[in-house]
Chains A and B, each alone.
Chain A
Amino acid sequence: MILQVRDLRVSFPAGTAVDGISFGLERGRTLGVVGESGSGKSVSSLAIMGLHREAAVSGSIVFDGEELVGAPASRVRELRGRRMAMIFQDPLSSLHPFYTVGEQIAEAYRLHLRTSRRVARERAVEMLAEVGIPEPRRRADEYPHHFSGGMRQRVMIAMALSCEPDLLIADEPTTALDVTVQAQILELIRKIQEDRAVAVMMITHDLGVVARVADEVLVMYGGRTAEHAPAREIFRSPRHPYTRGLLASVLRLTAGEEEDGGRLPAIPGNPPSLLAPPSGCRFHPRCARYAAAPDDACVTEAPEPRPAGPGGATHRTACHLIDISGGRR
C-alpha cells in the first residue's frame, strides 16, 4: 500500500467537510473518487497533500509507511511534489502566467533533486516530450497562454511527474477540457500510470471518466463514504441508492428509447449543507428507497460502510436498507 487513509476527518470553522473516510491505494492502481460538489472529494485530496492550511485534519494518512497527520509541515512539504503530486481542474489558472512552462516544470525538479538549472531544464524538455507536446525544446520557452487547454493540462502532468512521484492526485483533470481532448488526457494518464506504476487518485464527478480509468471506486456523499468497490462492480451491481441514482442519471445514447419517453432521471433535492447536515444517513432526504419504505435507522443512525454484494469484503456500502446477502431487505 502506498497510501492508507483511515477515518479521515477535515473540519473548517464553518463545518466538517470530510467526516471519516477510509481507503487504501496500491502502486499502479487507480482509485476513482466520485461525488457531487461539496461531497468532500477535493478536500480529502488536499488534506492528503497537506495543502489545507486553515482546516483541522484528524484520523490517519499513511503514505508509504509514514504517518502524515501530525507530521511536521516541513516533512510533508518535502514529500509534496517529490513523492506525491497533484494536477488540478483548470490548467490555465493553475499555471503561473508570468513564467515559461519550462521554468515551471524545472522548478520542482531543481528544488527536490538539487540539480543545476541546465539539468532541470533538460528534464523539463524531456517531460514535455513524454506527455506528447511537439517541439518540446522550443515550447519549453513559451508561456502558458500560448498553449491550448489540453496542452496546458499536459504541461501540468509533465510538471507533476517530473520528480517521479509514487502518488498522483488528479482533481477533475478533464472537467475544463473539450470532450475529444478529455479522452486524450485520460489516455495519457493511463499510459503514464502503466509505464511508471504510479498510484493515481482520480477525483471526478464524471462517471464516464471513472469507467475509463478506475480500478476501484469510492463514492462520497456529504463528506462520508457511500459505496466503495471495484470499478466493475460499481457499474454492474451498484448497491447504494445514491450510486444507483448517479448511474441512472448518466446520459446514454439509447435514452430516447426508454419507456418513460426519454426523460433523464435525476436525483431529487440538493447536496447536503456542511453547516447543518441531515441526521442519520445524510442521503435519506433524497433517497428513493427511504421514501418508499421509511426506516427510523436512516434518520437516527449514520450507516457504517459494510460488506455488501458479490464482491464480498471488497464491496462496501453504507446503507441501512441494503441486505448484506445482496438483495434488498
Chain B
Amino acid sequence: MTLYALRRLAAVAGVLLVICAVTFAIFYLLPSDPAAHACGKTCTPEQVTLVREQMGLDRPVHEQFGGYVAGIFAGRTLGTGPAALECSVPCFGYSYQNALPVWDLLTDRLPVSVSLAVGSAVLWLAGGLAVGLVAALRRGTVLDRSLMAATLASASVPVYFTAMMLLLVLVQQLEWLPYPDYRPITEDPAAWAGNLLLPWMTLASLYAAMYARLTRASMIETMAEPYIRTARAKGLHERTVVTKHGLRSALTPIVTIFGMDLGGLLAGAVITEHVFGLPGVGQLTYDAIFKADQPVVLGVTLLAAFFITLANLGVDLVYALIDPRVRYA
C-alpha cells in the first residue's frame, strides 16, 4: 500500500512537469508580447527590447523553461544589473501587472478558494447523498419523481443565475444573509461561515443535483445485486441491508467524481468568485487571463493541475480502502 502510494506520487510529479511544459509552450507560441505589456503604452521599441532582455524573454525557450523549473525548487535571480529581482523558493516568477511574486499571490488567494470549495462540498455531499438515497429507496413514487424533477431543474440553471436569484431573495428581499464579504476563518469563524453561506449554497445547488442523480442511479443498481438478496436472506434488518451492504458499494463511483470535482474547485471557482466578488484564485485567474499575465496564469494552471492530480491520487487511495479488490492490483 505504501509502495503503491509512493509510485503514484512519482507519477503525479511527472504529470505536473508535462502540464508545466505544455502551458509554457502555449504561452511561448502566443502572439502577445509580455514585454510590451510589462513596459506600458508609452514605451519606445528600444525600451521594449531592453525590458525583453531584462525579463529573459530573448533567450531560447528551453533555457527559459529550464530557468522556470529550476526556480521552483532552487529560487532564481530575475533580470540583471541594478533591476535584478531575487526570487526565493518556490519561485513561480513575478506578476507582470504588479510585480508581486506569483507564489504570494496564490497563497494569499488560496484560503478563499479552499473555504469556498470545502464548504460547498460538505453541503452538496450531504444534500446530494440524502436526496439520491431517498429517491432510490422510494423509486417510482411521486416523491422520487418530484425529487428528480427538482434536481434536473437545479442542475440545468447556470451558476450566475442561481447566484443572482439567491442574492435577490436572501440578501435583498428577506435580508437573511449579508452580502458575501470574505473574512478569514482564523479571525472570526462565524462571520467566515455567514459570509460564505450564499456562495456555498450557489455552488452546492448545482453539484448536489448531479450527486443526487448519481447516487440514485448507483444505489438502484447496487440494490439489484445478488449480494443484496443474500443479505436479505440472512434476515438482516432492511436498514443494515441498505447502509452496510448497499450504500458502501454504491459510494464507489461517487468517490471518483467527488475527487475530481473537489480538486477542480480548490484552484478556484471562477464564475462563483467573480459573481460574489470573492478574492479567490478564480478571481486571480480571471484577471490574469485578461491581462496576459503569463507568470500568474502559469502558476494558477500548475496549482489547478496539482490539486486535480492530488485529488485523483486521493480517490485511488480511498478506493483501495473501500474496495478490497483494488488493493492488490
Show the binding face of A for B, using Cβ within 8 Å. 49, 51, 77-82, 85-86, 88, 90, 93-98, 100, 107-108, 111-112, 143, 145, 156, 159
Contacts and interface: CB of A to CB of B under 8 A. Distances in A.
Nearest to B245: A96
B69 interface: no
Interface string B231-252: 1111111000000010011000
Interface in B20-42: none
Interface stretch (B290-298, B306-314, B317-325): B317-325
B237 A51 contact: no
A98 B233 contact: no
Contacts of A85: 233-234
B233 A90 contact: no
A41 B226 CA distance: 17
Interface string B192-208: 00000000000000000
Contacts of B235: 77-82, 108, 111-112
B227 A97 contact: yes
B230 A94 contact: yes
Nearest to A109: B234
Contact of B229 (A94, A143, A145): A94
Nearest to A156: B230
Given A98-B248, A98-B322, A98-B324, A111 B236 contact: yes
Nearest to B238: A77
B232 A80 contact: yes
B322 A88 contact: no
Contact of B227 (A51, A95, A108): A95
17 contacts: A79-B235, A80-B232, A81-B234, A85-B234, A86-B233, A88-B230, A94-B226, A94-B229, A96-B230, A96-B249, A97-B323, A98-B249, A107-B234, A107-B236, A111-B236, A143-B325, A159-B230
A51 B228 CA distance: 11
B225 interface: yes
Contacts of B231: 96
A99 to B, nearest CB: 8
Nearest to B228: A96
Contacts of A100: 324
A31 B10 CA distance: 61
6 tightest CB-CB pairs across the interface, nearest first? A81-B235, A80-B235, A108-B234, A81-B234, A93-B226, A96-B227
Residue among A80, A82, A156 facing the most chain B CB atoms (10 A cut-off): A80
Nearest to A97: B325
A88 B226 CA distance: 8
B225 A80 contact: no
A26 to B, nearest CB: 23
B233 A80 contact: yes
A55 B252 CA distance: 31
B225 A93 contact: yes
B302 to A, nearest CB: 37
A51 B229 contact: yes
Nearest to B235: A81
Contacts of B226: 88, 90, 93-94
A143 B237 contact: no
A111 B234 contact: yes
Contacts of B232: 51, 80
A57 to B, nearest CB: 15
A145 B325 contact: yes
Given A108-B234, A159-B234, 14 more contacts: A77-B235, A81-B234, A88-B226, A88-B229, A88-B230, A93-B226, A95-B230, A97-B227, A97-B324, A98-B249, A98-B322, A145-B324, A145-B325, A156-B230
Nearest to B227: A96
A276 to B, nearest CB: 25
A81 B229 CA distance: 12
A107 to B, nearest CB: 6
A100 to B, nearest CB: 8
Contacts of B234: 80-81, 85, 107-108, 111, 159
B39 to A, nearest CB: 62
A300 B229 CA distance: 39
A205 B245 CA distance: 30
A156 B230 CA distance: 9
B236 to A, nearest CB: 6
A94 B245 CA distance: 12
A98 B327 CA distance: 11
Contacts of A88: 226, 229-230
A77 B325 contact: no
Contacts of B249: 96-98
Contact of A98 (B236, B237, B323): B323
Nearest to B236: A111
Nearest to B248: A98
B301 to A, nearest CB: 38
B248 to A, nearest CB: 6
A205 B188 CA distance: 71
A178 B242 CA distance: 33
Contacts of B245: 96
B118 to A, nearest CB: 27
A81 B227 contact: no
Contacts of A96: 227, 230-231, 245, 249
A93 B225 CA distance: 7
Contacts of B324: 97-98, 100, 143, 145
A25 B21 CA distance: 75
A133 B237 CA distance: 29
Nearest to A49: B233
